[in-house]
Amino acid sequence: MPTEAPTAAAEILLLTQRAEDLEVIRQATETNRLNVVSRCPDILSWLRREGQYGTAVRPDLILLDLDLSNQEDCELLSQVKEDPDFRRIPVVVLAASESQENIYQAYSLHANAYICKPPDRQDFVRVIRATLHFWLALARLPRE
Amino acid sequence: MVQKDRLTQILLIEDSPGDAWLIRDILMKGSVPKQLHVVTDGDRALHFLRREGEYAQAPRPDLVLLDINLPGRNGLDVLDEIKADPALKAITVIVLTTSDALEDVNAAYDRNANCYVVKPVDLNLFTHAIQGIEDFWLRMAMLPTRPSAQQPRRSSAKNAGRSGNGPASCLHLQRVWRGIPSRMADKNREWRRGRPRRPAPRYGFTSRLPGAQPRQA
């Protein structure tokens, strides 16, 4: 298959609290730069370059490990997607839940995509690879 | 990925008959069972989504493929309307256009487009892009289904494709395709439902079409 011209390494901002997920995502990220935070408020601080994130780079893609049945997680998603300064950055939700209610909620709050984390590690690596391939090589991303 | 046992409903908003034909041809060779509806301008698209007039029986799409350069109402206006309407805003909208102008890309994401894909001019790249949309959006991503608006199950959807449970104007563009899912999709389904999937029935004539072989993820 023909592929697009190689592009510069993308900046990915990931929110996850699970060390084992982080390991899988790191493995699938290849040459792209992965920045990781583990708490919801840190995503907003990173994007706003507050406090310790004063020199944070603007991500090209945001991956959020969320549980949409949790109020705090819903609020984070809506805060990211309502802020005129960074709402255009694509947000891919990674979730354990397959519940239609959570999926519908995520898209209603303007998540760009919702991915279910497969329990099998190899499947998970493949899903993350395919996700990054789609967003970084096939889709056109917004820029400032 | 949508609920098992039903066809994925796709609405293509595209005014170029050549592009619409090509996109349909590529999507229908993909392994995910789907039904494609085509409308040629923004007003028809909104009528379809709101089930107005001739589209009263239209299904709610799982995925919308939206061109920007449309006659009359521009694609970005259509996007605005969809994403500002509480009943429609959860629908995934992929902007699929020839424009690779950064201002269009930014404008689309600012209006909450789910993603933006440029239609390549080269046929191979075009095919690759559409297959990429199928691979990610129909096989990896989970798509929203409005809790109160469940779609017809496959048994009735089968009749819909044949006898036209949809607007007459896009009947000729509707086709139902059932392929055998790829091994990747099979594997996903196995862990989703906890037991192996029975292969879907396949129409004999379609299996001989070029490109009908299941592709690897």
Contact A113 B90 (CB under 8 A): no
Q: For chain B, give the mean pLDDT.
A: 77
Give Cα B178 distance to the centre of its chain.
14
Nearest to A137 by CA among A1, A27, A13, A35: A1
Contact A142 B147 (CB under 8 A): no
Chain B residues 72-131 with a CB less than 8 Å from chain A: 83, 89-92, 100, 102, 105-106, 109-110, 112, 114-118, 122, 124-125, 128-129
Contact B100 A140 (CB under 8 A): yes
Nearest CA distance, A81 vs chain B (angstrom):
8
**Domain ranges within chain B, ordered by starting residue:** 8-208
pLDDT in tens, chain A (144 residues): 444 444 578 999 999 999 999 999 998 888 889 999 999 999 999 999 999 999 999 999 999 999 999 999 999 999 999 999 999 999 999 999 999 999 999 999 999 999 999 999 999 999 999 999 999 999 999 998
Instruction: State the burial class of residue A2 (Cβ atoms within 10 Å of its Cβ: 0-12, 13-18, 19+).
Output: exposed
DSSP B88-154: TTTSEEEEEES---HHHHHHHHHTT-SEEEE--SSHHHHHHHHHHHIIIIITTBPPP--TT-PPPPH
What is the CA angle A32-A118-B30, rounded to 5? 80
Element at A12 (helix H, strand E): strand A11-15
Nearest to A132 by CA among A2, A9, A5, A1: A9
pLDDT tens track for B22-37? 999 999 999 999 999 9
What is the CA angle B7-B13-B15, rounded to 5? 135
Q: Are B139 and B188 in contact (CB under 8 A)?
A: yes
β-sheet bridge partners, residue A13: A35, A62
- Looking at the partner chain, which of A88, A104, A143 has a beta carbon nearest the beta carbon of B144? A104
A11-134 classified as CATH 3.40.50.2300: yes
Rounded Cα distance between B117 and A130, Å, is 16
The answer to whether B134 faces chain A, any CB pair under 8 Å, is no
Tell the CATH topology of B8-208: Rossmann fold (3.40.50)
Q: Is B10 helix (H, G, I), strand (E, B) or coil?
A: strand
Residue scoring higher pLDDT (B74 or B165): B74
Rounded Cα distance between B45 and B29, Å, is 24
pLDDT tens track for B150-185? 444 444 443 333 333 333 333 333 333 333 334 444
The answer to whether A82 faces chain B, any CB pair under 8 Å, is no
Residue A75 tokens read as 């609020």
The answer, yes or no, to whether residue B210 has pLDDT greater than 80, is: no
The terminus-to-terminus CA distance of chain B in angstroms comes to 14
**Domain ranges within chain A, ordered by starting residue:** 11-134
Its ipTM equals 0.93
Find chain A residues with C-beta within 8 A of B118's C-beta: 140
Q: Are B205 and B178 in contact (CB under 8 A)?
A: no
* Percent of all residues in chain B with a pLDDT value above 70, rounded to a whole number: 65
Nearest CA distance, B71 vs chain A (angstrom):
24
Nearest CA distance, B88 vs chain A (angstrom):
9
The terminus-to-terminus CA distance of chain A in angstroms comes to 31
Phi-psi region of A51 (alpha: psi -120 to 50; beta: other; left: phi over 0): left
Residue B89 main-chain phi, psi, to 5 deg = -65, -25
Inter-chain CB pairs, A–B, below 8 Å: 111
Predicted confidence at residue B6, as pLDDT, reads 80
Phi-psi region of B45 (alpha: psi -120 to 50; beta: other; left: phi over 0): alpha
Instruction: Describe the strand order of the beta sheet including B176-177 as a list of residue ranges.
Output: B115-118, B92-97, B63-66, B8-13, B34-39, B176-177
